[in-house]
Structure 1
């Protein structure tokens, strides 16, 4: 499949009607009228590495195996080339156990941590910073036509966000084609699911783009860099430290993607401006996500 085929099917995409991810709740609006709204489910998922309990993440509950693998990979607990002997999920206990041949030595270092649905809580930040030492990402050109095609396709994709709001999305893309679309209550969970899928499928990272609906913070930049993905894009804005780290490792960082507008604060020399801007629909300032109902 050519990477320019923006209409090719997703390999994985959200299913807003999937049972167990949302529920209907009755409430009252500002006029006093009673009605029902769709809200996202949130549940704990405990991740074990071999015999050690590593973390409890608050998640919507889909793709638990990918979330576990991606979290462990992004925290440096699964080393490059380390064989995964098994990933076991117990739906009743809400537990995932990842098994390798290595002896787990994280018990004293981590003890027990809980990641809440707050987007930046629970990441073992110092360990991630250590993984950046000496890291330089491959140089990858980015066509602006890809960015516009991706934004249009992603914004039109049926999703839990469009169904209920209160959720983040992350999409792994190749050229103008979105490949895998994950959602969760925390943007870090959504990124970890992508990382877990890439690890499971042994997917190359050097020609990929990571799109997120969340802010381009230092942690989001670090995770993308550790995954080996050279381009990170978002509808949202930046933090100064996120920009600084992106420049340090050679990550192309593109934010505020709305309509025909975007801002690139790292790697602008790698942009190829091949898009016909007159053919790109603009988005009014202050508008919500295109196609969103809430």
Structure 2
């Protein structure tokens, strides 16, 4: 995930040195022989990313819909058990962009079904776990995202893109048949509309971020039953939607 490269540091004096930076690779995804998208990701957990990404983009309803998934080098080839339709090739999804969706019908938003209730301490501790990322400390080039339950961390993932990291933890949960209605997300990335929608589609009832929350994310969250918490720092947080954190 990290590679050493040569650089010149200017800090009063001029010095040549080796620095560790985040590795970024393309992953070309084909679904039933048709190009679906090319995503720029960190190279680990490619199968989890593809599974989570296809699920949160509405191409599959779960891993059971995948007949085969083969990742070779920078190409992922997926065959589904049923025919799939998507309007057009998504071309290139940059590391900072999660999807090409630009229109949301409130009537078609997924509704979260969960009885999960969290004490704020659980959320604060989850954020502390996410912020312990060694990769971020060494390079400053990653977002971290964790999937948690009431017992603690299930998995924490680093990726150059916040959407990628979320797709990877969702894919991890789907592949292992975890009941996502009993889980929550802690992330370093802001909660935008597509991030909120990914959680709603996965039936994950709570997402907390070190960063900000956008207006459309709050609107989606309120209509789908998602609890959103932003600026989770120290012992503080702002709750923008939902009532699952006490």
TM-score between both structures, scaled by the size of structure 1 = 0.77
Q: Verify the 8 A CA contact 1:131 1:226 in the aligned structure 2.
A: no
Rounded Cα–Cα distance in structure 1 between residues aligned with 2:63 and 2:89 = 26
Alignment equivalent of 2:138, drawn from 141, 163, 173: 163
Pairing 1:36–2:18 present: yes
| Distance in 2 between residues matched to 1:104 and 1:244, nearest whole Å | 29
Measured in 2, the distance between the counterparts of 1:166 and 1:132 equals 38
Give CA-to-partner distance per residue, 1:87-141, whole Å, 9 cap, x none.
11112xx1011222222333xx113510112x225x13157x3597253212421
2:238 counterpart of 1:271: no
Name the residue aligned to 1:148. Answer: 124
Question: In the aligned structure 2, how far is the partner of 1:99 from the partner of 1:170?
Answer: 28
Partners of 1:188 and 1:247 in 2: CA distance: 21
Contact 2:209 2:232 in 1 (8 A): yes
State the secondary structure of the residue aligned to 1:244.
Answer: helix
Provide runs of 4+ in structure 1 moved above 4 Å: none
Partners of 2:135 and 2:211 in 1: CA distance: 18
Please report how far the alpha carbon of residue 259 of structure 1 lies from its aligned counterpart in structure 2 after TM superposition: 0.5
Whether 2:70 is the aligned partner of 1:88: answer yes
Q: SS at the partner of 2:181?
A: coil
Kept after mapping to 2: 8 A contact 1:23/1:41? no
Alignment RMSD:
2.0
Kindly provide the CA deviation profile for residues 62-97 of structure 1, in whole angstroms up to 9, marking residues without a partner as x.
111111111111111112574322211112xx1011
Q: Is the 1:64–1:89 contact (alpha carbons within 8 Å) kept by the matching residues of 2?
A: yes
CA distance in 2, matches of 1:176, 1:148: 14
Match of 1:287 in 2: none
2:85 aligned residue: 105
Q: Does 1:78 align with 2:60?
A: yes
Question: Which position in structure 2 is the counterpart of 1:7?
Answer: none
Which is strand-richer, 1 or 2?
Answer: 2
Structure 1 gaps of 5+ residues are 1-19, 273-294
Could you tell me whether the CA contact under 8 Å between 1:139 and 1:250 is conserved in 2?
no
Alignment CA distance shift 1:265-1:88 (3 Å):
same
Q: 1:126 to 1:191 in 2, by over 3 A?
A: same
Deviations 1:17-46 (A, max 9, x none): xxx542233222232331332111111110
Q: Deviations over 1:203-241 (max 9, x none)?
A: 111110111100111111111111110000010011111
Task: Name 1:23's counterpart in structure 2.
Answer: 4
Separation in 2, partners of 1:266, 1:139? 16
SS in structure 2 at match of 1:147 = helix
1:203 and 2:184 are equivalent in the alignment? no
> Among 228, 231, 242, which residue is 1:256 paired with?
231
